[in-house]
Structure formats: C-alpha cells, structure tokens
C-alpha cells in the first residue's frame, strides 16, 4: 500500500502490477469516459478503481454496490503519465470494440497484491424459495404457465408444490427439487396425478423441476409420461433478488 504517491510512483507501481497480473486498487480523484456500443462521460469525483487479476475493471462511486463503469475479464489495461501530469488508465477490448478511459489528477492510495481463492461457491436456496420464484416468474418452467394454487392439499397424497394451468387449459402439477430429482420424486408426482384424475375433468400434466434428473428416475419419468424441466437454484435466486418486495398472492389465481 502506498499513501499519497507521486504520479511517477503510481505509474511505475501500477505498470509492474498489471504486467504481473496482480490485483490493483486505486483511490483518488478521476473522470471517466466510455466509448463503445454507446458513450458516456463522468466528470471529476473521488472514486475507487479495481483492476482484478483476470483483467476486469470496475469503477465505484462512494455509494452503491454496482460499478458506475466497468470492463469484463480479459480486457487490455494500460497506464501512462500524461503531459498534464495526470495518470491515465485505459481498459479496452476488441470484441465488441469499447474503451473505458480513467484519468486521475490526484491519487490518495494505491494497493497492489495477489489474492488466492480456489474455494467452490455454494448457493443455499431452499425448495420453498424455488417455489416462490416460480410463482413470481412461471416462465422458469414454461411460457404461458399460470399458477392457480401453491401447496394444494390432495388429502393422503400430500400437498403439491405448484398447481397450475398451461396455455392450453391443461392442469399442471409441478414437483420441485433443489438437487437432482430421484425416482422417489417421480413417484410422489405420480401419486398427485392419480389423486387428481378422480377430481378434475381436464387433461393433466406432471412436471419435475430440478437442476438435474438422476438416471434411476429416467425410466419412471418416461413411463409415467411426465416432463422434466432443468431449473437451477441460481436462476431462482436471480428472480427473487429482483422481485423481493412483491407479494406472492398477486401471482396466483
């Protein structure tokens, strides 16, 4: 870490760090110009620039979690000292052709380091949360699906995850699993459909929604003429993140 470096010191430190593919953090007063599929200009202000080891670049303002400007991984990053005494950082890529130019006229802090992180990321989304996501955004299962009821009681057979109607007017029962669906999940869906056949005068469909289907369940699924829809917890989480303030009741019925 260097506090209040001269521009020469900052250029030398950053140039060496970029060549070595190190993580760079740069805090100071800058302006930012973007040119590419569109164009933008952000006038002078104190900001944080992060250059990650994969070549991605993010410019952050003092508030908010999203960068105001950014470039994806594998972009080319160059640093130079301008005749005006400012430090110019340029991040560019060719496909599509676009450039983010960051000019610093004062620098408060520079940090260069190596970070090592090989841990696997696990997103802990429950089946209940996956169900909420489908109620909010039924196209996660299929277009035109209309949820009618969540956890519909079928007596001794139990409760369906989602009871719905497709665009052709057929009744659809969706069984949700947050991990690979087993034969037991297919048999459970079978019990729901067997119970409904004596109560509903409409064609019935059964759908398993899960990240994957185990091989042991494949034959049972096919013999029952049910369907499998691949649905990951990550996709459901993305829906919940954007729709978190909405009430589920408005998506049912």
Helix 233-242 × helix 127-136 angle, to 10°: 60
Mean pLDDT across the chain: 93
Q: In which residue ranges of the chain is pLDDT below 50?
A: 248-250
Quick one: pLDDT at residue 248?
Answer: 47
Q: Can you give the residue ranges of every domain in the chain? A: 2-113, 127-251
| pTM of full prediction above 0.85 | no
Q: What is the pLDDT of residue 37?
A: 84
> 2-113 and 127-251: same fold?
no
Quick: pLDDT tens for 92-150.
999 899 999 999 999 999 999 999 999 877 667 899 999 999 999 999 999 999 999 98
Q: Residue 221: CB partners within 8 Å, gap ≥ 6?
A: 186, 208, 213, 227, 228
We find that the CATH architecture of domain 127-251 is: 3-Layer(aba) Sandwich (3.40)
**Fold category of 2-113 in CATH:** Protein Yojf; Chain: A; (2.70.180)
Q: DSSP for 59-90?
A: EE-SS-SS-SEEE-TT-EEEEEE-TTS-EEEE
**Token digits of residue 104:** 């610093």
């Amino acid at each position: 870490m260097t506090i209040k470096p001269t521009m020469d010191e900052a250029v030398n430190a950053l140039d060496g760090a970029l060549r070595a593919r190190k993580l760079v953090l740069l805090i100071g007063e800058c302006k930012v110009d973007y040119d590419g599929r569109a164009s933008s200009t952000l006038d002078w202000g104190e900001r944080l620039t992060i250059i990650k080891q994969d070549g991605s670049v993010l410019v952050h303002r003092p508030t908010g979690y999203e960068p105001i400007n950014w470039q994806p991984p594998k972009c080319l990053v160059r640093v130079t000292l301008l005749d005006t005494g400012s430090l110019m950082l340029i991040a560019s890529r060719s496909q599509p052709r676009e450039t983010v130019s960051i000019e610093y006229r004062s620098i408060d802090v520079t940090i260069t380091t190596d970070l090592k992180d090989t841990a696997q990321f696990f997103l802990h989304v429950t089946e209940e949360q996956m169900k909420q996501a489908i109620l909010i955004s039924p196209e996660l299962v299929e277009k035109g699906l209309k949820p009618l009821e969540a956890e519909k009681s079928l007596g001794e057979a139990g409760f369906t995850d989602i009871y719905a109607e497709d665009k052709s007017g057929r009744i659809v029962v969706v069984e949700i699993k947050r991990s690979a669906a087993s034969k037991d999940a297919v048999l459970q869906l079978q019990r729901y459909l067997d119970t409904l056949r004596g109560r509903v005068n409409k064609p019935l469909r059964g759908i398993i929604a899960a990240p994957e289907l185990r091989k042991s369940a494949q034959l049972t699924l096919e013999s029952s003429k049910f369907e499998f829809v691949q649905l990951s917890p990550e996709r459901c989480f993305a829906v919940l993140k954007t729709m978190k303030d909405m009430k589920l009741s408005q998506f049912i019925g």
